[in-house]
Amino acid sequence: MEESTEDMFDYPAITVALVEEITSGAISEGERLRAAVLDAGPKRSYDDTLASLEEVGEVFGRAHGQAGFMGYVHPDEELRAAGRAAGEQLSKWLTELAFHPGLYQAVEEFSATDEAARLSGERARLLEFVRRDLRRAGHHLPARSQERVKELTGRLIELGVAFAQNIAEHEDALEVTREELEGLPEAYIDSLPLSPDCERLLRVTMDYPHVTPFMENARRRDLRRRLMSKFNSRAVGTNRPLLEEAVAIRSEIAALFGEPSWAHHRLSDRMAKTPERVEEFYELLLAPLQEAGRREIERIAEMLEADGEERPVQVWDWRYYDNRIRRTEYGVDQMEVAGYFPLEQVVEGMLDLTGEVFGLRYRPASAPVWHEDVVTYAVFDRASGERLAHFHMDLFPREGKFSHAAAFTLRGGRRLPDGSYQAPVSAIVANFTPPSGDAPALLQHSEVLTLFHEFGHILHQVLTRTELGRFSGTSTEGDFVEAPSQIMENWTWQPEVLARFAFHYRTGEPLPTEVLEKLSGAQLLNVAISKLRQAGFGLLDMALHGPDPDPDLDEILAATTEVALFPQQEGTFFPASFGHLLAGYDAGYYGYLWSEVYGDDMWRRFEEEGVTNPGVGMEYRREVLEKGGSRDAIETLRAFLGREPDNRAFLRKLGIE
SS3 490: helix
| Contact present, 608 and 586 (Cβ < 8 Å) | no
Q: How far apart are CA 457 and CA 205, in angstroms?
A: 28
| Contact present, 365 and 390 (Cβ < 8 Å) | yes
CA nearest to 592, candidates 520, 653, 537, 655: 537
Q: How far apart are CA 404 and CA 432, in angstroms?
A: 10
- Residue 270 DSSP label: S
* Residues in contact with 178: Cβ distance below 8 Å, sequence separation at least 6, in sequence order: 189, 202
Active-site position among 296, 454, 482, 596? 454
Q: Is 29 exposed, middle or buried (0-12, 13-18, 19+ CB in 10 A)?
A: middle
* β-bridge mates for residue 365, sequence order: 3, 376
Q: How far apart are CA 529 and CA 474, in angstroms?
A: 29
| Contact present, 200 and 541 (Cβ < 8 Å) | no
SS3 133: helix
Q: How far apart are CA 408 and CA 454, in angstroms?
A: 10
Q: How far apart are CA 402 and CA 164, in angstroms?
A: 8
Q: How far apart are CA 235 and CA 267, in angstroms?
A: 29
Cα separation of the two ends of the chain: 51
Q: Is 366 exposed, middle or buried (0-12, 13-18, 19+ CB in 10 A)?
A: exposed
Tell me, yes or no, if 467 is annotated catalytic.
no
| Contact present, 593 and 280 (Cβ < 8 Å) | no
Q: How far apart are CA 581 and CA 92, in angstroms?
A: 19
Give the residue numbers marked as catalytic: 454
